[in-house]
Homo-oligomer: A and B are copies of this chain.
Amino acid sequence: MTEQKRHHHHGNLREALITAGLELMEQGGPDALSLRKCAKRAGVSHAAPAHHFNGLVSLQAAIIARGYQKFSASMRRAADQADAAPQAQLNAICAGYIDFARSHTAVFKFMFQPHNNDSQTLDATTQEELDRDSMASYQILRDACAPFEHNDAQGVSTEIMVWSLVHGYAMLFCAPGKTESPSGPIPEFSQILPKLKLKTNITP
Q: Which of A's residues lie within 8 Å of B, judged by CB?
A: 29-31, 105-106, 109, 112-114, 116, 135, 138, 142, 150-151, 153, 155-157, 159-161, 163-169, 171-173, 175, 181-187, 191-195
How many whole Å from A199's CB to the nearest CB in chain B? 16
A187's closest neighbor in chain B, by CB? B157
The answer to whether B142 touches A112 (Cβ under 8 A) is no
Expressed in whole angstroms, the Cα–Cα distance for A105 and B172 within the complex equals: 17
The answer to whether A171 touches B167 (Cβ under 8 A) is yes
Interface pairs (17), CB distance under 8 Å: A29-B114, A29-B116, A30-B114, A106-B114, A114-B175, A135-B182, A138-B183, A151-B192, A153-B192, A155-B184, A156-B181, A156-B184, A160-B187, A164-B164, A164-B172, A166-B168, A194-B194
